[in-house]
Amino acid sequence: MSTISPERTGGSGLTPPPIMKAFVYGGIGHKSIEDRPKPVIVDSGDAIVRMVKTTICGTDLHILKGDVPSCDPGRILGHEGIGIIESVGSGVTAFHPGDHVLISCITSCGICENCRKGMYSHCTTGGWILGNRIDGTQAQFVRTPHADTSLYHIPRNAEEEPLVMLSDVLPTAFECGVLLGKVGPGSTLAIVGSGPIGIATLLAAQLYSPGAIYMIDVDDNRLEVAKRLGATATINSKIEPAIERIMALTQGRGVDTVVEAVGIPSTFEMCQELVAAGGTIANIGVHGEKADLHLERLWDRNVTLTTRLVDTVSTPTLMKTVRSGEIDPSNLITHHFKFDQILQAYETFGHAAKTQALKVIIDFD
């Protein structure tokens, strides 16, 4: 273990702390690769993980736009990835140096009131903190608190790269979209937003055999991917009136489930137009702006509106569906970069219409 206590980092004549490369949010629109001290164990439940692969989330783009006030400038971003345990605190029992691990985007203590309800996203000493309130995974090393209950062993012989999609994308799609949206056999589903989260919702929804899945986006390439991966029909809402199209496809009823996977007011309002009587609007998008809820139209429609920050309670289940081949998350991976190309990776991910990117993998070796 090569940890150096913070007290030894400043004084003259002492060994300087080991330095690592990290991707840092510098305030709205500012991002850079910086040298940072390698993290050290702070609490007994911590692990230090050497990153092997990470990725970029739509939420990271929201942070760069200033939509996430909890994330201060100076923060190392990233809440997804896989790595190898470098060292663990004295209280960690389930993981050892050398173990290959999946890092959950949600950190959970497992014992606070919210964790005991399975609501890990609101763990009183965790939740979505990585790459938000504490430094994240877009760096050569990351400190993961509550390691025993926030990391997952990667099974021996597993193909590791697709498992990066289990840090956030797949559990988010499954929990916030498919489960809360009550997708069921024969039901109709519209997914607004055909980005990685929307496409992952499309993949996870098919576990439940819905009758029809309609995908809406403004990017023809992403819609083509959706079509190839099982969408019944796709609608480019920049070109066609999406609400009229869905009404025509559903004999004027609307859909049983509508999933919001964009995170802007206009798409949230569109969802309210698309939902059938008795249906569910399952919001996934991170909203940085006020969005209107039209109760004057919806009050008598028996609809349910759900919101959720992913809890990642479904990660072990999803790991099994990936290993059995029922869900193939490698369908979401379009680009590969080395860590020193991460600025280019952000450009590519941020201009998906031009680059045809879905998830980009960033390799550290």
Residues that bind Zn ion (CB under 5 A): 57, 59, 109, 112, 115, 123, 168
Residue 109 contact, options ligand NAD, Zn ion, none, Cβ 5-8 Å cut-off depending on partner type: Zn ion
Cα(105)–Cα(125) distance, integer angstroms: 14
For ligand NAD, the closer of residues 23 and 141 by Cβ is 23
Whichever of 58 and 78 has its CB closer to ligand NAD, that residue is: 58
Which C-beta is closer to Zn ion: that of 18 or that of 66? 66
Which residues are registered as beta bridge partners of 36? Answer: 20
Q: Nearest approach, Cβ of 123 to ligand NAD (angstroms)?
A: 14
Buried/exposed 58-76: b ≥16 CB within 10 Å, e otherwise:
bbbbbbbeebbeebeeebb
CB of 5 to ligand NAD, least distance (A): 35
Rounded least distance, CB 197 to ligand NAD, Å: 3
- The binding site for ligand NAD (CB under 6 A) comprises 57-59, 61-62, 168, 172, 176, 192-198, 216-219, 222, 237, 261-264, 266-267, 284-286, 308-310, 352
Which residue number, 3 or 232, has a Cβ lying nearer to ligand NAD? Answer: 232
How far apart (Å, rounded) are the C-alpha atoms in residues 21 and 279?
47
The alpha carbons of the chain give a radius of gyration, in whole angstroms, of: 21
The answer to whether the Cα torsion of 65, 69, 70, 73 is positive or negative is: positive
Q: Of Zn ion, ligand NAD, none, which one sits near residue 298, judging by CB under 5 to 8 A according to partner kind? A: none
- Closest approach, Cβ 214 to ligand NAD, in A, equals 12
With DSSP H G I counted as helix, E B as strand and the rest as coil, what are the percentages for the chain, rounded to 5? Answer: 30, 25, 45
Q: What are phi and psi of 158, to 5 degrees?
A: -75, 145
Choice between 77 and 85, CB closer to ligand NAD: 77
Residue 146 binds which one of ligand NAD, Zn ion, none, with CB within 5 to 8 A depending on kind? none
CA-based angle 117:85:331, to the nearest 5? 70
Q: Both tokens of residue 328? A: 């193939």
DSSP-derived 3-state class of residue 316: helix
Q: Do strands 359-363 and 333-338 pair parallel, antiparallel, or not at all (unpaired)?
A: parallel
Select the binding partner of residue 115 from Zn ion, ligand NAD, none (C-beta < 5 to 8 A, by kind): Zn ion
Q: How far is the CB of 25 from ligand NAD (least distance, A)?
A: 15
* Least separation in angstroms between CB 79 and ligand NAD: 9
Residue with tokens 């055909």: 194
